[in-house]
Structure 1
């Protein structure tokens, strides 16, 4: 593990709030996966895939994908049951990882620069470990890798619901009683340390997305079942066996950037440094005063860290070519 380096800020475009990137439906294995494209703005840009966290969507990457469009030809995916993607049959880390693999193979864009936040980080670790042929570099933003002290997460309050056979019905009933505006505020407060860093445009988009979820019958079930699958993966990771996410993290072979926020209220703040220690070729960036979604709260800083990762990998490739 080493400290992450930040690329020059002047290499990024100016400050602006782009609208959500255009999306399209991709039919995979009989169901629709929604993908937003951030087309490259310069020749030679390399393919990238962005993966959101629990309860999020492809819109969580709007700013970062725009900042990196000069270097990365981006696609941001809505995981099954979230955003505008159709519900999935299973809501487990292996099932989500299989969908990402299918998407990369279907698009024929691999290997990609893979970026994942929270749940998306855990899924991305599995993809990188099991299918390294599809991944150039890995970037993990507050990855939801296993930890056992759920007092360190606001989502720990959800644990009793997992014991209920039809917990999604209770969650759906509770959601219906909360106004969308209140829900948006609660979600922002739980994931962002400084709300002044989130523009009004992004707040409006988040509110629109929440309102759309109120009309999606599958949303509560997808959320609860995904959370249940995530907790199950946590428990398995502390047992013997190949399914341990920590064991998979130790097998990730490609250059990896790990970013954590000191004010993360959803994932134990000790997870990001632990991930950087476990992953062999890693660099760590801990952001003081930042919450769970650094790519939304401080996108320019995250973009500069990704530029630093890309520069390192390019330099290493050049040295190998010269040595050859």
Structure 2
């Protein structure tokens, strides 16, 4: 077991000790791992979708406060991430991951949900809401990827995630956080394992080769309540991404640029992110 796998296993055991369920479900013949927590709130189910190289365990510090407001909290490991086995549907790997997310929401969640997507998970969540609005009660995008800001800018982001040396690992860690926790810097070298998995390599290559990004009409056609959260200290995605979403999201959307947020506020500033999500939920009548 490598270092990152060991840390994820420790995180999983701690969550289970506190009452979170860690289990595998079969969706379309593919095994997926997810965390679920029964909530005490009256809000709809909430689904948390991680980004490229991320994992459901990254949402560990927001599960319990969200469970006080919503009836059930779901955090899924996309194929090849976290505890879910590797899987990719041919050359269109991103589309294959997205189709698994659709089936997961339909077959496992089973009700219109408040979907919260981070980074690549945000881009997939937009597609989910645009193509299957019956599955999405409300949508929150946190440092969402998918903006059409030009192929070269996206290539630079993906190349920064192609970690081969300790120096590159530390540089990526600096870009992922506003102020990287000391432990993250200490274990930064382990990112070489996270971003070198077959799933991450396939997804990155797919984005570079296809050049397919979110289309303005996908965003403009969203009818459910939408929250877009961007970190004022975002250092991974280009600032042009914020401009793209601001321009094309429908008028009823809420756009929040938050001081102290980097690319992974659910890891770095979980309390503040939960506050943003709950304020939005209240305003949307969830």
Shorter chain as denominator, the TM-score bin is 0.7 to 0.9
Q: Structure 1 regions of 5+ residues with no counterpart?
A: 1-17, 160-170, 238-243, 318-324
Match of 1:140 in 2: 141
Match of 1:226 in 2: 203
Offset of residue 101 of structure 1: 1.3
Offset of residue 158 of structure 1: 5.5
Match of 2:48 in 1: 50
- Structure 1 vs Structure 2 CA RMSD: 3.2
Match of 1:249 in 2: 219
In structure 2, C-alpha distance between the alignment counterparts of 1:199 and 1:45, rounded to whole Å: 36
Q: Is residue 129 from structure 1 mapped to residue 130 from structure 2 by the alignment? A: yes
In structure 2, C-alpha distance between the alignment counterparts of 1:251 and 1:304, rounded to whole Å: 27
Match of 2:7 in 1: none
The structure whose RCO (Cα within 8 Å, separation 6+) is larger is 1
Deviation larger for 70-79 or 145-154: 145-154
Q: For 1:199-210, what aligned pairs fall within 5 Å after superposition? A: 203=184, 210=190
Deviation larger for 90-99 or 247-256: 90-99
Q: For 1:1-324, what aligned pairs fall within 5 Å after superposition? A: 19-20=14-15, 21-40=20-39, 42-72=40-70, 73-90=72-89, 92-146=93-147, 147-148=149-150, 150-151=152-153, 155-157=157-159, 175=164, 185-195=170-180, 198=181, 203=184, 210=190, 214=193, 220-232=197-209, 235-237=211-213, 244-280=214-250, 281-314=252-285
Offset of residue 57 of structure 1: 0.6
**Conserved in 2, the CA contact under 8 Å of 1:153 and 1:268?**
no
TM-score, structure 2 normalization: 0.80
Offset of residue 43 of structure 1: 4.3
CA distance 1:140–1:71, change in 2 (3 Å): same
Residue correspondences, number: 265
In structure 1, C-alpha distance between the alignment counterparts of 2:83 and 2:242, rounded to whole Å: 29
**Conserved in 2, the CA contact under 8 Å of 1:121 and 1:144?**
yes
**Conserved in 2, the CA contact under 8 Å of 1:64 and 1:300?**
yes
CA distance 1:22–1:257, change in 2 (3 Å): same
**Conserved in 2, the CA contact under 8 Å of 1:52 and 1:120?**
yes
TM-score, structure 1 normalization: 0.71
In structure 2, C-alpha distance between the alignment counterparts of 1:150 and 1:22, rounded to whole Å: 41
In structure 2, C-alpha distance between the alignment counterparts of 1:246 and 1:260, rounded to whole Å: 18
Q: Secondary structure at the match of 2:36?
A: strand
**Conserved in 2, the CA contact under 8 Å of 1:191 and 1:292?**
yes
In structure 2, C-alpha distance between the alignment counterparts of 1:276 and 1:250, rounded to whole Å: 11
**Conserved in 2, the CA contact under 8 Å of 1:276 and 1:283?**
no
